[in-house]
Structure 1
Amino acid sequence: MIEMKTNVIETGKIPDASEYITERSILLQVAESTYRFFLGSIAGAAGATVVYPIDLVKTRMQNQRTGLSKAGELMYKNSFDCARKVITREGVFGLYRGLAPQLVGVCPEKAIKLTVNDFVRDRLTSTSGRITLQSEIFAGCCAGASQVMFTNPLEIVKIRLQTAGEVPNSTKLSAGTVIRELGFKNLYKGASACFLRDIPFSGIYFPVYANCKLYFAPDGHNSPGTLLLSACIAGVPAAYLVTPADVIKTRLQVAARQGQTTYSGLFDAARKIMAEEGFSAFWKGGLARVFRSAPQFGFTLLTYEVLQRFFFIDFSGRS
Structure 2
Amino acid sequence: MSNKPTSATADFIAGNFGGMANVLVGQPLDTIKVRLQLDHGKFKGAWDCTLQTIQKEGFFALYKGMASPLIGIGAVNALLFAANSNLKQRLQTSPDQLLPLHKIALAGAGAGIINSVLASPVELLKIKMQAQFGNKSVNGAKHFTGPIDCAKYLIQRDGIRHGLFRGMWATIVREIPAYAGFYSGFEMTKRYLTKNEKEASVVELMAAGAVGGIGYWVFSYPLDVVKSVVQNQEKPPRGLYVTSVLKSIYTRDGLAGLFRGFTPTVLRSIPAAGATFTAYELSIRAFQVNGW
The reply to whether residue 124 of structure 1 matches residue 99 of structure 2 is no
1:164 alignment counterpart = 132
Please report the TM-score for the alignment, with normalisation by the length of structure 1: 0.81
- The alpha-carbon deviation at position 313 of structure 1 amounts to 4.3
- Select 2:223's aligned residue among 245, 261, 267: 245
Cα shift at 1:167: 7.7
Q: What SS is found at the alignment partner of 1:75?
A: coil
State the Cα distance separating 1:182 from its structure 2 match.
Answer: 1.0
Report the equivalent of 1:39: 14
Is residue 2:246 matched to residue 1:267?
A: no
User: Which protein shows a greater Rg?
Assistant: 1
- Percentage of matched positions with identical amino acids: 24
Q: 1:134 aligns with which of 87, 98, 102?
A: 102
The letter of the residue matching 1:115 is A
Offset at 1:91?
Answer: 0.7
CA distance in 2, matches of 1:209, 1:269: 31
Distance 1:104 1:168 in 2: 24
* Structure 1 residues 132 and 311: CA distance shift in structure 2, 3 A: closer
Q: Which amino acid aligns with 2:154?
A: L
Q: Name the SS of the counterpart of 1:247 in structure 2.
A: helix
Q: Determine which of 181, 196, 203 is the counterpart of 2:153.
A: 181
Q: Is residue 220 of structure 1 aligned with residue 212 of structure 2?
A: no
Within 5 Å, give how 1:1-319 maps onto structure 2.
32-65=7-40, 74-127=41-94, 128-166=96-134, 170=138, 171=143, 173-183=145-155, 184-185=160-161, 186-218=163-195, 219-256=197-234, 264=238, 265-313=241-289
Letter in 1 for 2:34: T
8 A contact 2:181–2:219 mirrored in 1: no
Alignment check: 8 A CA contact 2:144 2:150 kept: no
1:204 aligned counterpart, secondary structure:
helix
Question: Within 2, Cα distance between the matches of 1:169 and 1:205?
Answer: 38
Q: What code does the residue aligned with 2:173 have?
A: L
* Contact kept? 1:101, 1:157, Cα under 8 Å: yes
Structure 1 residues not aligned, in runs of 5+: 1-12, 18-28, 66-73
Amino acid at match of 2:246: A
Calculate the aligned-residue CA RMSD, in Å.
2.4
1:274-311 deviation digits (Å, cap 9, x = unpaired): 22221221111112221223322210110111122233
Distance across 1 between alignment mates of 2:18 and 2:214: 19
Distance 1:235 1:38 in 2: 21
- Tell me how far 1:230 sits from its aligned partner: 0.6
Relative contact order (alpha carbons < 8 A, sep ≥ 6): 1 or 2 greater? 1
Cα deviation digits, residues 72-100 of structure 1 (max 9, x gap): xx211111111111111111111111111
Alpha-carbon separation, structure 2, partners of 1:140 and 1:133 = 10
Q: Please report the TM-score for the alignment, with normalisation by the length of structure 2.
A: 0.88
| Distance in 2, Cα, partners of 1:187 & 1:172 | 14
For residues 275 and 190 of structure 2, what CA distance do their matches in structure 1 show?
A: 15
SS in 2 for 1:126: coil
Residue 56 of structure 1 and its aligned partner are, at CA, apart by 0.3
Greater shift, 244-253 or 121-130, is seen at 121-130
Q: Distance in 2 between matches of 1:275 and 1:263?
A: 18
Preserved contact between residue 185 and residue 215 of structure 2 (Cα < 8 Å): no
How many Å separate the matches in 1 of 2:21 and 2:216?
20
Task: Give the match for residue 24 of structure 1.
Answer: none
Structure 2: segments with no counterpart, 5+ residues: none
Distance 2:121 2:254 in 1: 29
In 1: Cα distance, 2:146 partner to 2:54 partner: 19
Secondary structure, counterpart of 1:164 in structure 2: coil
For residues 228 and 133 of structure 1, the distance between their equivalents in structure 2, rounded to whole angstroms, comes to: 19
CA contact (8 A) 1:213 1:227 kept: yes
Q: Is the 8 A contact 1:243 1:284 kept in 2?
A: no
Residues 217-246 of structure 1: per-residue CA shift (max 9 Å, x gap)? 123221100000011012213212311101
Q: Deviation of residue 267 (structure 1)? A: 2.7
Paired AA for residue 280 in structure 1: A
Relative to structure 1, the CA distance from residue 203 to residue 63 in structure 2 (aligned partners, 3 Å threshold; closer, same or farther) is same
